[in-house]
Amino acid sequence: MSTAVQWVVFAERSTDAMIATGITDKPSVARLVVEAVMADVRNAGWGEVLRVPLPGEAPTDAELSEWPPPGEVYICRRATHGYRWMPLFRVGPDSA
């Protein structure tokens, strides 16, 4: 494993505290947790997921093919049926 997946769920209003945050080595777990928190917490506004590299480790081809792509922040919003995940922005040297 050369990457970790950070996730966070924010409240609808910026004056409210962050609702939940965590880190995992499984992208699918991060996605499910964000969606579960948003389903359970009434004032949850959106979630974000970001894969970050671990220092000194090289990513495998399998890791590079998993969602989300390394260095891209993905945002989760409620949709008519379920949730919609969209890229928000790229983090790192390529973002300039």
pLDDT at 89 over 90: no
Asked whether the beta carbons of 69 and 88 are under 8 A apart, the reply is: no
Most confident listed range (9-23, 59-73, 81-95): 9-23
Number of domains in the chain: 1
25 sits in the region (left: phi over 0; alpha: psi -120 to 50; else beta) called alpha
Residue written as token pair 């950070």? 6
96 pLDDT band, cuts 50/70/90, is very low
Mean of the pLDDT values across residues 3-21?
91
Which domain range does residue 59 map to? 3-95
Give the predicted TM-score (pTM) of the model. Answer: 0.82
pLDDT at 58 over 50: yes
